[in-house]
Structure 1
Amino acid sequence: MPGNGDATNQVTATVDAVSEALLSGRGWLHPAASLTTPTGRTPLFSPAITTDERHILPGTGAVISWTSTAQPPAPVGAAAVRRILERLGPGPEPTADALHLPVTAEPAPADPRPAFPPLTTPTDRPGPHLTPDTPGVRVRLAIPAVFHPLLVPGDADALATHLIETAEEVLAGAPGTARRDWATVTAATTDAARAAGTFFAGLCRLDLAGRESTASLIAAVIPAAEPPTEAREVELPCGPATVLVEARTTPVPAQLSTDGRRRLIGTAAALALIPLPDTQVLALQLSTPHEQDWELYAAAFAGILHSIEIAWPGPPPTPEDPQPTKGTPVRIPPADWDPWSGTPTTPEPPQPTKGKGTPVQIPPADWDPWS
């Protein structure tokens, strides 16, 4: 995906590749209904949500947030890998470079472009919320809670603890080495994802009539750029957006494959770009290697787009016209006034000077010189 989808492309493709190599055919799957549960239109900027951490809102889903005033996270990947190995047992200490990660998915022009459900133009488009008392731009959106978050705020200990707990859930019943390997590889890719502006990376694993189906979801804030030429413009409740849907191929590095051979998997993906008031762009991308299930995931992605809410303080106030000065008028004294000689007096207006020559008497108006 060219243009300003490159950053989210790499993060999404990497999650897909790691999932395909280390999770496929293993562990526990969620029922399909956990993805299709309808989400409500509960206002996301409400007193019920006070932090930017992932928050479960009943009847809505998992609410995720981003704030422009937040400090950039420090690198934690390498330290988290070591913490995981300390708790799950010794093993290889992977690095992103050694695993040839992140990877980039390439468009598959020969394949038909996946369909996407129509995004109807909202009759009531509120646009960004104006919050003059809160600095910075804020974004919130609701996603199905079935997407396991792979990034969490905090230090290396917090990330290691979260990935170990997630591995115990998604790889329930699998050998302990499988949980260790997935958790360490995922930790090793964390810093690259954060550097790309990603504030949420999630993995979904479903049971569709006894068949495994997976998808990844990425949310990032990236610098503004021209959208891909193939993208189409849409209207969302939060404002205008562009959406690109395409088939593509994602590489799985040989270093992750059990047979040591690099291979390609076909995926279907959707990228949405929503301009933010601070000249940045909110980028959302969903991808699945199970293209036969695209219709299911596309409908979920459309629901996520409709849930987006944006808040900002508004434009800076424009300077107002100067108001007339209030108070008692002050009289300016003449330039030659001596403050020690008393109160200045207003000078008398100049008197007309007397003319020279013989005075002339003006006759009355009814004077008849011939009488």
Structure 2
Amino acid sequence: MTTTSATTAAIAVEEHALAHNYHPLSVVVATAEGAWVTDVDGKRYLDCLAAYSAVNFGHSNPRLIAAAKAQLDRVTLTSRAFHNDQLGPFADALATLLGKEMVLPMNTGAEAVESAIKVARAWGYRVKGVPEGRAKIIVMDGNFHGRTTTIISFSNDPEARADFGPYTPGFTSVPYGDIDAVAAAIDDDTVAVLVEPIQGEAGVVVPPAEFLPALRALATDRRVLMIADEIQSGLGRTGSTVSCDLVGVVPDLYLLGKALGGGIVPVSAVVGDASVLGVLRPGEHGSTFGGNPLAAAVGLEVVSMLSTGEFQERASVLGAHLRSSLEGLIGSGVVEVRGAGLWAGIDIDPALASGRAVCEALMERGVLAKDTHGSTIRLAPPLVVTAEELDWAVEQLRAVLASF
């Protein structure tokens, strides 16, 4: 891999000053627009990661930049000690988009997950009548919901979990997509089931088509909350507003993040009905930055852009095109292709190359992607990408695989 002096110098500063909790590719991005980024040496790359779906609407999207700039000149932060004129319209629009009644605004995806855990436990004690201190939440093997201490307590990924104990109790993990295992795990103390409708970090793993509808029915029957983590899969990525829409399922709580901030500011939210989110009382949960005017102004514009269905349609049509092209690589270094909309998990033959090696080779050819779990790479380009750009990216992957 070739690196220039500018790239080498920039990386050296990062490695000296930053904690080594990431292992990024050797590209130093300086500017970005649409589906493309440009490094410190002026080389352009097609961004096929979109910051793990945080940049669904493209880098420097004009509508989102305009909304942010307009708000910057007005007020950016008040804290929730006071009202602000952007938060109410944002919350109302987001709740309407998802057919719910209430929004709990936060900042990061992990905060949304932590908030939902607290809400589910409070609902269990105050509404369902679970004895204090015994609330249990069912989670899925292979899950990824964030990096906080509580969240990694129910991860079974050694890299996320090892050496960070003692772990938070109250969680039971079952095989992803196995409705019988979920049913067997539910007892009188169970307050919720937390699920990614599509597991992103695991490699864009799509459950059996009947799993989420069966889970919804089971949760209703056994009086437990269904919580859908749509932080990566939501807001247009899978060809629908949220991926639960693909199978006609409405959870009790949606968890949103990443793309909700338009790639400009961190914005997350728990979205549900008053019968669930209404359990929170003043002073029990909060965030200084959650729901700030700048975040709300950008989030409101994101909701407005999604309300037309244009981005969902693009993801659906272009996703089918991408999937067909990628499946043509099966047998030529690719073992399996999974995904929905503009989100694909590609299993590389481990005898050929690691996912990291493939991503490094793609970078040399002007395509940025991310590996996971050894031999899998993920593609999640901004939804503004074109069919021609996708075709070019697949051709670069074909060439990389042939080179190995």
* Between structures 1 and 2, the one with greater helix share: 2
Q: State the TM-score, normalizing by the size of structure 2.
A: 0.25
Structure 1 or 2, whichever has the larger Rg, is: 1
* Between structures 1 and 2, the one with greater strand share: 1
Q: State the TM-score, normalizing by the size of structure 1.
A: 0.27
